[in-house]
Structure 1
């Protein structure tokens, strides 16, 4: 079991301890650190800025939204970051959801699995730099047909430090998880739970068994863990910090009938609760939706409570499909001890 650290999303501004968390991860010999983006801060700039003070830890985008950049643009960024970090870049990508893709980026969302496969194909062709990049897919065509008619197949002027930079895929649905196992170098789960680990493992095994799969179970990486770790003597008080997050994801992310987070959380045994939370949230009663999140639901997806309880539950999470345990906490003073629990 390896250890990673997650900085996560920005809200109104940069997370106060982000630079410190990344520095601790580098000093303690963590495998990787990960940043995030939604529709505010981007995922690459913070990673490059804070990563400049590190020398060992791998730098991962968790995640770069595909709709935000053409695959050639993300491949350029990957090669640039890989050079600057001396071969430590990991590019995590994801499809996001229709609300963000069509509402924020103004591009179509349909057929995300098919689009993901093509996106990764193009990225790998750019990074391999074996010749001018041409591609004839349903979603991506290089050079673009039509237009001025002057489009030309090009080869990156930048020579990659590594011609096969790792690409990880964030996925929640069973088909997308299987796709990650088939075509990616790793999987970035969200809302994983020890209760649902076996179901996700079955999807991974389906992907590994496909003809042409890049990896086997022995070489594939799964970087994840509890949504958050909060060390607190009062379990209920700790749960209160995370109820708004679960209410947002289960109730307010996406539309009725099309909310991937809702579906994944519900699969852990919370179908009725998720329906109620979603109904309240979409009706505009966010406070009632937050209050409807049971403490036990929080405990399925996060680790909260006194240090002895935290240590015990980390062992349970180590028995899931994850290969790298990602520590997501704002309590930087506890990171060294949490890492000891993971490695112990």
Structure 2
């Protein structure tokens, strides 16, 4: 079974991640996946990992389709695929209006169409084809990679609702899921039944390895208000059937009452969406995602009191405990 961790880890500079990557490999982690919001870019941590850990698989979850031009995104993906032949998977997605518009000064328009068009372009470009085509959301004139990778990376599409899930099944090599419980997995995967047997299914899973449930739930509530108030995630959870449980939080948030929004989130919802507890309990919960159909569970490590006070030795111990060999 593949076992992933989101990198880089907070509190450790990129230059210090060689030891982190070694500890993850020793613990039985098979995959390193990056994200791209307002920390590091998606590719630099994986480029370091390509050199430092020549056996681990690498993936982006996700590289936004708006914030790089299509050609630059293809060049960046091709370079990492060349650095880690056969080990890199390119995860792309629309991201959000805040990341795209507020932070990168790009119009966040037609996210479904832009994702579809970027997916189609990347498949052609990374295969070494010359692209001269008007896709609708952008047009390219005679673009061809100077260094197409000998092994083109699989392309995975981040998807939440039926339209994007079906697009991933029809045209991508896999799908990346986020912000769902093990019980939600089959609801999402029902929309990908048209995909072949080799279709990849990755999911980012927030993990807070502490037995202090109040602390973990406080962290979880802050994350839920940060994410599930975003329109795309709100619509996703309405589709999953959580309208009733989330409406009080949405109403308080819309009214500007952040304290009431946090208080409106029940413990049961936090426990569904945020993995917490002793590392053994966390590992078992992540395994339940795999049992539900996730082929690549990817942990996103959240802070804990022990991690914040214990420094690097505690971090390495925690990674070891969370690993597939834990």
TM-score bracket relative to the smaller structure? 0.7 to 0.9
- Cross-structure match for 2:228: 250
Change (3 A) 1:29 1:10: closer
Counterparts in 2 of 1:141 and 1:312: CA distance versus 1, 3 Å: closer
3-state SS in 1 of match to 2:163: helix
Indicate the structure with greater helix content. Answer: 2
Partner of residue 161, structure 1 = 150
8 Å contact kept, 1:233–1:306: yes
**Structure 1 pair 337–268 and aligned structure 2 pair: CA distance change class (3 A):** farther
Tell me what 1:264 maps to: 236
Whether the 8 Å contact between 1:36 and 1:64 is mirrored in structure 2 is: yes
State whether residues 90 and 168 of structure 1, in contact with CA within 8 Å, keep that contact through their aligned partners in structure 2. Answer: yes
Count, aligned residues: 314
* Contact map agreement 1:197 1:321 (CA 8 A) in 2: yes
Question: Shift of residue 55 of structure 1?
Answer: 1.1
Moved more, 88-97 or 281-290: 281-290
SS at match of 1:229: strand
Q: Normalising by the residue count of structure 1, what TM-score does the alignment of the two structures yield? A: 0.81
Q: 1:274 aligns with which of 223, 226, 246?
A: 246
Partner of residue 70, structure 1: 69
Q: Residues 324 and 278 (structure 1 numbering): CA distance in 2 closer, same or farther, change over 3 Å?
A: same
- Residue 239 (structure 1) aligned with residue 239 (structure 2): no
TM-score normalised according to structure 2 size: 0.85
Cα distance in 2 between the residues matched to 1:25 and 1:224: 18
Q: Which has the higher contact order (CA 8 A, sep 6+)?
A: 2
Equivalent position of 2:312 in the other structure: none
State whether residues 79 and 161 of structure 1, in contact with CA within 8 Å, keep that contact through their aligned partners in structure 2.
no
Equivalent-residue separation in structure 2 for 1:127 and 1:170 (angstroms): 19
Hey, what does 1:150 align to over in structure 2? none
- Please show how residues 214-225 of structure 1 align to structure 2 within 5 Å: 216=196, 218-224=197-203
> Corresponding residue for 2:122?
123
SS in 1 for 2:72: helix
Query: Does structure 2 conserve the Cα–Cα contact (< 8 Å) formed by 1:71 and 1:120?
Result: no
SS at the partner of 2:228?
A: helix
1:184 positional shift: 1.1
Q: Is the 8 A contact 1:234 1:306 kept in 2?
A: no
Q: Structure 1 98/85 Cα, relative in aligned 2: closer, same or farther at 3 Å?
A: same
Query: CA 1:140–1:243 in structure 2 vs 1: closer, same or farther (change >3 Å)?
Result: same
Shift of 1:62: 1.1
Structure 1 residues 35, 312: CA separation in 2 closer, same or farther (over 3 Å shift)?
Answer: closer
The answer for unaligned runs of 5 or more in structure 1 is: 144-152, 209-215, 254-258
Q: CA deviation at 1:193?
A: 1.2
RMSD: 2.8
Distance in 2 (CA, whole Å) between partners of 1:322 and 1:315 is 9
Q: Is the 8 A contact 1:35 1:61 kept in 2?
A: yes
